[in-house]
Structure 1
Amino acid sequence: MAKFTLPGLSAEQGAEVAAVLQERLSAYNDLHLTLKHIHWNVVGPNFIGVHEMIDPQVELVRGFADSVAERIAALGGSPKGTPGAIISDRTWDDYSVGRDSAQAHLAALDLVYIGVITDGRKAIAKVGDVDPITEDMLIGQTGDLEQFQWFVRAHLENSGGSLIHENGHTEKEAASQAR
């Protein structure tokens, strides 16, 4: 950690916020790779719609990672964007679905979004009192992720308002229920 941080924050506060952001950076790097994996491995009747829906999500999440990394640097930290950092920071399992139908991937992706959004909300709570600028950035990013999840869920909802994979607790279970 550098000997400086942003005005209005102590070095300790800057380090605290940077640590929270490092977790978000690793989550976003993992998410954009997972989204590309889905993009490359989705098959079936809804292939093109899902294939094309995923790329804008990838680009925006890559942008989130860049914003978070630059904020870490502004706080005096050193952002870690390596595969090892993703693995080290990971509190989740690697994405578990390979080549599969659009419905199967979307059901699994819904669970991925639940995890990323839940962790994003926890990060917002952690930084809110210390750094409202970072809080605002994370709120915007989490809001965009919630919209992406809504796009995904729109493909998975039945006419009764239930998700076709609602009893799936793992990506593989959700994918299986959606097939």
Structure 2
Amino acid sequence: MSGPPVISSPLSDSARAVAGSALQATLVDLLDLALVAEQAHWNLYGPRFRSLHVQLDEVATTARNFSDTVAERAAALGVAPDGRAGTIAATSALPSIPQGWLEDRAVVNALVETFATVIRRLRERIGATGEADAVTEDLLIGLIAELEKQSWMFQAENRA
């Protein structure tokens, strides 16, 4: 149910709208990233199975942990976060991962592409939130530092 915020916001209505929109889009990206990582984790095969299996667990854990932080920030601003499966399916802009068994090289390529999309979108949101809410901007900056680190690791894996 939509309506007036249950939680009062320290931000103006316009700043809350900017921050809330950035946080909601980031929440969807993170929840979908966790799902992509888990899908690949469960269906992975190939000579790099063990190292990628562990690496995908790290991606899923990071995405889940940050999604909780992002959702709680939205709630603290009086914006109801929406992490429902239907919302993720309807609004995610991440590339989908194929169904079924996935060779290690295909998984690495898929994660490189997925991280590139998430990072590009997150950098746009950082730019948009700077004036509206420095705390949200800071949260997104911390998140992108971790995602860029994981992206680097998959890109390095891609050269094998």
How far did 1:149 drift? 0.7
Q: Any residues of structure 2 matched to 1:39-54 within 5 Å, and which?
A: 39-54=41-56
Structure 1 gaps, min length 5: 159-179
Matched with 1:128 is 130
Matched with 2:83 is 81
CA distance in 2, matches of 1:45, 1:91: 30
Higher RCO, Cα 8 Å, sep 6+: 2
How far did 1:55 drift? 0.8
How far did 1:51 drift? 0.3
CA distance in 2, matches of 1:44, 1:91: 28
CA distance in 2, matches of 1:42, 1:88: 26
Q: Any residues of structure 2 matched to 1:91-170 within 5 Å, and which?
A: 91-96=93-98, 98-157=100-159
Residue 44 of structure 2 contacts residue 107 of structure 2 at CA under 8 Å; is this kept in 1?
yes
CA distance in 2, matches of 1:106, 1:92: 15
CA distance in 2, matches of 1:128, 1:98: 41
Q: Any residues of structure 2 matched to 1:16-55 within 5 Å, and which?
A: 16-55=18-57
Q: TM-score normalised to the size of structure 1? A: 0.82
Matched with 1:5 is 9
Residue 127 of structure 1 contacts residue 135 of structure 1 at CA under 8 Å; is this kept in 2?
yes
CA distance in 1, matches of 2:130, 2:90: 25
Q: 1:93 to 1:44 in 2, by over 3 A?
A: closer
CA distance in 2, matches of 1:146, 1:86: 22
Larger Rg belongs to = 1
| Higher share of residues assigned helix | 2
Matched with 2:58 is 56
Amino acid at match of 1:47: F
Matched, 1:72 2:74: yes
Residue 43 of structure 1 contacts residue 99 of structure 1 at CA under 8 Å; is this kept in 2?
yes
Residue 29 of structure 2 contacts residue 93 of structure 2 at CA under 8 Å; is this kept in 1?
no
How far did 1:88 drift? 2.6
Give identity over the alignment, percent.
33
Residue 18 of structure 2 contacts residue 128 of structure 2 at CA under 8 Å; is this kept in 1?
no
